[in-house]
Amino acid sequence: MTVTYAIITACSAVYSNSPEADPNVTAGRAVVGFFFIYYLFYNLAMSPLLCAYTLEILPYNLRTKGLFVSSMSVNCSLVFNQYVNPIALPALGWKYYIVYT
């Protein structure tokens, strides 16, 4: 996932820094393609493991509390990203992808 996001960042930079009269279409298409590859890996690894790993590493007496902390952390980050991404992406452009990389 890190490698694909680094490639997305690099291709976004190439596309963004190309002249408007002759944009680098190949870099733009690579960004879209690597987003699909990124989410393939994300759905294979992060979606099922987010809950399963948290429950697996905790003892029985801490599982509910640990799952609560994990779920609240994910939900707080989702709320934060919901409001920050629309502001930060136009302001920083392709450089904002470095935060996620």
Range of the domain at 95: 2-100
User: What's this model's pTM, rounded to 2 decimal places?
Assistant: 0.77
User: Could you give the number of structural domains in the chain?
Assistant: 1
Give the other-Cβ count within 10 Å of 96's Cβ. Answer: 17
Q: What are the tens digits of pLDDT across the range 4-19?
A: 999 999 999 999 999 9
Predicted local distance difference test score (pLDDT) of residue 9: 94
Q: What are the tens digits of pLDDT across the range 19-40?
A: 988 889 999 999 999 999 999 9
Predicted local distance difference test score (pLDDT) of residue 52: 87
Please state, rounded to an integer, the average pLDDT across all residues of the chain: 91
Given a cut of 90, whether residue 53 has pLDDT beyond it is: no
Enumerate residues 6+ apart whose C-beta is below 8 A from 19: none
User: Which carries the bigger pLDDT value, residue 67 or residue 100?
Assistant: 67
